[in-house]
Amino acid sequence: MPPLDQIRIVLVNPIYGGNVGSACRAMMNMGLSQLVLVAPRPGMNMEEAAAMACHAGDILNNRRVVAATEEAVADCGLVAGTSNRGGLYREHSKTPREWAPRLLEAAMDTPVAILFGSEDNGLSLEDLALCTQFIRIPSSAAYKSLNLAMSVMICAYELFTASGTFVPPRDRSQESTSSRREAMFAKWRHALIDIGFMTTDTADHMMLGIRRILSRGTLTEKDVQILLGMAAQTQWAANHLPRKPNT
């Protein structure tokens, strides 16, 4: 089973349906599917939860609801608790990015739970006592408290990124050859002289600057083709269109 399928998001004593629904959406964005609610507050607005879940309704509908945190994590190997407070137990906290590889490794063999406390009180000492790891999400000292769904998204993102599931799209055009780049630079040299941007005396110096500018990123075959076309059109305009007299 892929490790992301073994990661369990546990919301302890949540208050607001909107946060639960938004957490579901964050989970679906990042490839997570297991949601457990521990003793949600009475009267929590599930219509609001469904609206905020958007297309992640299956995660919300398939949630487990249990009475105690012990029940939510009973079959888990690692249990990571999120907390932004200092003090006893929490001095060994690490960021979600630091813990993600370890949690994913453990999830290869056994379920792993990540606990998020209630919006008003966070995780209790009893909840933290069940944890094998402590997660602290870095935030500004000006305002350290994060919304519940935001916290879920940050942790889920780091897990998704560390899992290697996402493969960024690659440019289909291969990097330009040296000969093509040199042909393009030569074309621009003539074009810029023709429009009066530089003279033959200053061309060598100016072209060094242009080379540095255009070499800061990858130049693909398509890039060079476009730049060659621009240079050719610039040169044509310089030699065929009437010029305004100097005033």
Please state the length of the chain.
247
Mean pLDDT (whole number) for 187-211: 92
The set of residues, in sequence order, having a beta carbon less than 8 Å from that of 236 and lying 6+ positions away, is none
Mean pLDDT, all residues of the chain: 91
CA nearest 1: which of 111, 161, 100?
A: 111
Residue 69 has pLDDT above 60, yes or no: yes
Q: Which residue has the higher pLDDT, 244 or 221?
A: 221
Residue 145 has pLDDT above 90, yes or no: no
Predicted confidence band of residue 89 (pLDDT cuts 50, 70, 90): low
The percent of residues in the chain predicted with pLDDT above 70, rounded, is 95
Summarised one tens digit per residue, pLDDT across range 204-243 is 999 999 999 888 888 888 889 999 999 999 989 888 877 6
Predicted confidence band of residue 51 (pLDDT cuts 50, 70, 90): very high
Residue 245 has pLDDT above 90, yes or no: no
- Partner residues linked to 85 by β-bridges: none
Mean pLDDT (whole number) for 148-173: 89
Q: Rounded to an integer, what distance in angstroms lies between the CA atom of residue 28 and that of residue 157?
A: 11
Q: Which residue has the higher pLDDT, 168 or 142?
A: 142
Instruction: Give pLDDT, residue 170.
Output: 72
Domains of the chain, by residue range, sit at 3-163, 178-240
Instruction: Give pLDDT, residue 144.
Output: 85
Residue 247 has pLDDT above 60, yes or no: no
**Superfamily grouping for domain 3-163:** SPOUT methyltransferase, trefoil knot domain (3.40.1280.10)
Residue 151 has pLDDT above 80, yes or no: yes
Identify the weakest region by mean pLDDT among 21-35, 64-78, 165-179, 196-210.
Answer: 165-179
Summarised one tens digit per residue, pLDDT across range 2-18 is 999 999 999 999 999 99
The set of residues, in sequence order, having a beta carbon less than 8 Å from that of 48 and lying 6+ positions away, is 16, 17, 18, 21
Half-sphere exposure of 54 (CA within 13 A, CB side): 8
Predicted confidence band of residue 34 (pLDDT cuts 50, 70, 90): very high
Structure tokens at 192: 């810029």
Q: Rounded to an integer, what distance in angstroms lies between the CA atom of residue 131 and that of residue 77?
A: 10
- Signed CA dihedral, 93, 99, 104, 105: sign only: negative
